[in-house]
């Protein structure tokens, strides 16, 4: 059974849980994979056994070597065994060990029985705990991304973790673990239900109405695109699971895919600032040791360990990177030993930034990262690894990623040219830095620029044109964005939807006040993308601030009206008329 909208329309309803894997109870709760306790807590038992074996290694070796070695290394163990045999305790000891193992298995089974999840019409929920119960709930309309995590051991066992990220910090719901096929099916259902919920129960424009209610529409496919129903045996399916990098099936058909070759990834890592800085230190440390003290060379060892760790971490996270998209979201997949797939529903991205370090310019390479609500604390700072959706790509790849992440800003040819102009062009229509901004921007003054695009009266203007005429109908500004160019040693190009603004600031630090300059800051949720423009001439900065503040109010007011209009009409009981 599926529920129909209460407004009486023919729009497909949100699918009920019968399309999900497993057998639900009366309230719709389902259990995770039976091996889940092994990966969550059972590994602690394995570690404890390993520590015990490591500590008794010499004694165990002595038992098998015998003679003098046995007396030196295995004497204590032999005495213990002799005592057990003399007192007839062998069966009791074996029974105790088996009882301990049975107790561990029982508690693991109990933990699995009490760990359940449910995908409802309005939220995804998870419950766990025996003595202390925990119940987490992620409303569909607040889901920011749905990710699949596959550590190496989980991949070997054919298991996958689902990570459901909501807008609030710490609001994550984890489903640890499901079979890989089941995890992909559950992920597809969550993404589609979230998209339908966001649209007020209506399907995507132009989408086949059958997809919302058909179980086959969310069926998982294997690494080569073959449906799991057509698998040719358990072994082939397990191999396919292990090698599956989770490309969206619709992207296979359309070919709308961005990928990163291994050679380009390795080259970008070797030419990154982290590696260049490490190489400079490796050259400088021996010179310093020869001049002052040779003991300084000892500092090279941790430096080499850190450099290799950072480089391998970047390679591991960017290996076999792919970006694809479907009707309801954007999907990135990458990883060598541990794979990670992130699915971000449309409308959840607050800012996108393309970055180009100095040594990448000759090759035309760029990195793209995003800010979205609910990012982990490790991804919310200015870390280079935070929120990366394209480790390295060419200009055309960046344009394609921008158009995919922010639908509506590049549908027309002139819009794509506008993105290219902001990225590598002369930045026509951007308001540049003030005449004395060189004191605060240094060599980045020539590239610096800001533009409010897509607002009535502002398109085509030099950043602030159309201030007087920036009044119009709310729908016309739906795709309005703020665009910022910055950087000298590392170039950047930022695009932020005005709809996602938290606040707009104009502030003047001491040096800016002395030079007659000001800074415009476009506040979004906490994330790695910097949406600040420094060094603007004061009067022009005030005009940009007025235009931007007015655009934020109008765009967000229009969005609120559209959401109110999209809400279904309340059902009226005929008996109450």
> Could you tell me if 150 and 160 are in contact, meaning their C-beta atoms sit under 8 angstroms apart?
yes
User: How far, in Å, CA of 187 to CA of 174, rounded?
Assistant: 12
In a shared domain, residues 252 and 281: no
- Name the token pair of 429: 């229509």
Is 329 a member of any domain? no
Say which CATH number the domain at 138 has: 2.30.29
- DSSP per-residue string spanning 252-302: HHH---EE--HHHHHHHHHTSHHHHHHHHHHHHHHHHHHHT-GGGGGGHHH
Whether 406 and 491 share a structural domain: yes
Same domain, 441 and 560: yes
pLDDT at 19: 64
How many structural domains are present in the chain? Answer: 4
Establish if 266 belongs to a structural domain.
yes
> What confidence tier does 240 reach under pLDDT thresholds 50, 70, 90?
low
pLDDT of 570 reads 56
* Same domain membership, residue 506 and residue 453: yes
* Structural domain that includes position 274: 262-318
pLDDT for 78 equals: 60
Burial label for 3, CB within 10 Å (0-12, 13-18, 19+), is exposed
Q: What is the pLDDT of residue 478?
A: 64
Q: Of 533 and 69, which is predicted with more confidence?
A: 533
% of the chain residues with pLDDT over 90: 21
Domain boundary among 113, 143, 173: 113
Chain mean pLDDT for the chain = 75
- In DSSP notation, 359-408 reads GGGGGT-EEEEEEETT--GGGSSS-TTTTEEEEEE-HHHHHHHHHHHSTT
Q: Looking at the structure, tell me whether residues 52 and 94 fall in a common domain.
A: yes
Q: Which of 95, 113, 131 is the last residue of a domain?
A: 113
pLDDT confidence tier of residue 76, bands split at 50, 70 and 90: low
In a domain, 120, yes or no: yes
**397 or 103, greater pLDDT:** 397
Given a cut of 60, whether residue 390 has pLDDT beyond it is yes
Cis status of the peptide bond prior to 177, with omega within 30 of 0: yes
Comparing 259-263, 406-410, 431-435, the range with the smallest average pLDDT is 406-410
- Residue 246: which pLDDT band, with cuts at 50, 70 and 90? low
Residue 37 in domain: no
pLDDT at 256 over 60: no
Q: Give the pLDDT confidence score for residue 101 in this predicted structure.
A: 79
pLDDT at 432: 92
Q: Are residues 361 and 277 in the same domain?
A: no
Rounded Cα distance between 495 and 352, Å, is 5
pLDDT of residue 255: 47
Residue 241 pLDDT more than 50? Answer: yes
Helix/strand/coil (H, E, C) string of 455-524?
Answer: CCCCCCCCCCCCCCCCCCCHHHHCCCEEEEEECCCEEEEEEEEHHHCCEEEEECCHHHHHHCEEEEEEEC
Query: Is 155 part of a structural domain of the chain?
Result: yes
Whether 317 shows a pLDDT value over 80: the answer reads yes
543 domain residue, yes or no: yes
- Answer yes or no: pTM beyond 0.85: no
Residue 292 within a domain: yes
* Top-confidence residue, 566 or 124: 124
Distance CA(23)–CA(160), nearest Å, equals 19
Query: Is 4 part of a structural domain of the chain?
Result: no
Boundary-marking domain end, from 318, 336, 363:
318
Whether residue 449 is found in the same domain as residue 439? yes
Of 81-90, 415-424, 432-441, which gets the smallest average pLDDT?
Answer: 81-90
Question: Do 154 and 238 have their domain in common?
Answer: yes
Q: Are residues 547 and 436 both part of a single domain?
A: yes
What is the b/e burial string over 501-535, where b = at least 16 CB atoms within 10 angstroms of the residue's CB? Answer: beebebeeeeebeebebbbbebebbbbbbbbebbb
Residues with Cβ within 8 Å of 132's Cβ and at least 6 positions away in sequence, in order, are: none
Residues 6 or more apart whose CB falls under 8 angstroms from that of 21 comprise 30, 178, 179, 181, 182, 185, 186
Asked whether residue 415 falls in the same domain as residue 486, the answer is yes
Give tens-digit pLDDT for 437-487. Answer: 999 999 899 999 999 987 764 443 445 443 333 333 444 456 789 999 999
Q: Which has the minimum average pLDDT: 5-19, 179-193, 209-223? A: 209-223
The span from the CA of 539 to the CA of 520, in Å, is: 12
pLDDT score of 357:
93
Write the DSSP symbol of residue 41: I
> DSSP string covering 147-213, please?
EEEE-HHHHHHTEEEEEEEESSTT--EEEEEEEHHHHHHHHHHHHHHHHHHHTTS-PPTT--GGGGT
With bands split at pLDDT 50, 70 and 90, how would you rate the model's confidence at 61? low
Among left, alpha and beta (phi > 0; psi -120 to 50; other), residue 127 is beta
Q: Is the Cβ–Cβ distance between 479 and 489 less than 8 Å?
A: no
User: pLDDT tens digits, residue range 201-225?
Assistant: 555 544 433 333 333 334 455 444 4
Nearest to 248 by CA among 179, 178, 192, 170: 192
β-bridge partners, 481:
453, 497
Distance of CA 568 to the CA centre of its chain: 32
Cα–Cα distance for residue pair 278/273, rounded to 1 Å:
8
Residues 271 and 407 grouped into a single domain? no
More confident position, 219 or 436: 436
Q: Higher model confidence: residue 415 or residue 223?
A: 415
* Whether residues 374 and 250 fall in one domain: no
């Amino acid at each position: 059974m599926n529920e129909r909208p209460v407004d009486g329309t023919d729009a497909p309803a949100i699918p009920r849980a019968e399309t999900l894997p497993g057998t639900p109870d009366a309230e719709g709760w389902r259990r995770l994979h039976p091996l889940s306790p092994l990966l969550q807590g059972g590994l602690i038992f394995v570690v404890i056994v390993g520590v015990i074996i490591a500590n008794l290694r010499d004694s165990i070796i002595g038992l098998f070597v015998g003679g003098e070695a046995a007396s030196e290394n295995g004497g204590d163990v032999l005495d213990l065994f002799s005592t057990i045999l003399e007192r007839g305790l062998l069966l009791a000891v074996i029974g105790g060990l088996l009882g301990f193992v049975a107790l561990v298995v029982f508690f693991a089974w109990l933990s699995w029985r009490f760990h359940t999840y449910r995908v409802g019409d309005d939220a995804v929920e998870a419950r766990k705990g025996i003595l202390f119960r925990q119940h987490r709930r992620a409303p569909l309309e607040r889901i920011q991304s749905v990710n699949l995590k596959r550590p190496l051991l989980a991949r070997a066992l054919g298991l996958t973790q689902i990570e459901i990220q909501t807008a609030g910090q710490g609001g994550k719901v984890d489903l640890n673990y499901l079979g890989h096929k089941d995890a992909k099916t559950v992920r597809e259902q969550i993404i589609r239900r979230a998209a339908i919920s966001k649209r007020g129960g209506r399907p995507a424009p132009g989408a086949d109405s059958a997809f919302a209610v058909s179980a086959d529409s969310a069926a998982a496919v294997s690494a080569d695109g073959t449906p799991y129903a057509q698998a040719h045996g358990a072994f082939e399916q397990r191999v396919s699971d292990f090698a599956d990098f989770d490309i969206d099936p619709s992207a296979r058909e359309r070919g709308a895919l961005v990928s990163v070759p291994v050679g380009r990834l390795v080259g970008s890592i070797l030419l990154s600032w982290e590696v260049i800085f490490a190489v400079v230190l490796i050259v400088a440390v021996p010179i310093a040791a020869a001049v002052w003290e040779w003991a300084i060379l000892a500092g090279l060892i941790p430096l080499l360990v850190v450099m290799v760790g950072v480089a391998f971490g970047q390679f591991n996270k960017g290996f076999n990177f792919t970006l694809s998209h479907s009707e309801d979201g954007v999907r990135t997949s990458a990883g060598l030993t541990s794979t990670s797939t992130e699915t971000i529903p449309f409308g959840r991205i607050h800012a996108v930034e393309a970055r180009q370090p100095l040594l990448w310019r000759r090759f035309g390479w760029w990195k793209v990262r995003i800010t979205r609500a609910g990012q982990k604390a490790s991804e919310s700072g200015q870390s280079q690894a935070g929120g990366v959706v394209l480790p390295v790509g060419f200009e055309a790849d960046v344009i394609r990623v921008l158009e995919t992440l922010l639908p509506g800003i590049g549908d027309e040819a002139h819009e794509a040219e506008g993105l290219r102009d902001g990225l590598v062009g002369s930045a026509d229509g951007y308001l540049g830095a003030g005449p004395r901004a060189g004191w605060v921007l240094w060599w980045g003054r020539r590239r610096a620029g800001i533009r409010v695009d897509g607002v009535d009266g502002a398109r085509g203007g030099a950043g602030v044109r159309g201030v007087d005429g920036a009044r119009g109908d709310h729908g016309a500004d739906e795709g309005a964005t703020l665009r910022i160019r910055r950087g000298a040693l590392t170039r950047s190009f930022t695009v932020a939807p005005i709809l996602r603004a938290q606040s707009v600031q104009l502030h003047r630090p001491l040096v800016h006040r002395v030079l007659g300059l000001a800074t415009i800051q476009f506040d979004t949720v906490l994330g790695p993308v910097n949406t600040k423009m420094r060094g603007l001439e004061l009067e022009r900065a005030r005009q940009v601030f007025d235009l931007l503040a007015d655009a934020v109010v109008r765009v967000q007011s229009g969005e609120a009206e559209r959401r109110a209009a999209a809400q279904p009409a309340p059902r009226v009981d005929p008996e109450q008329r």
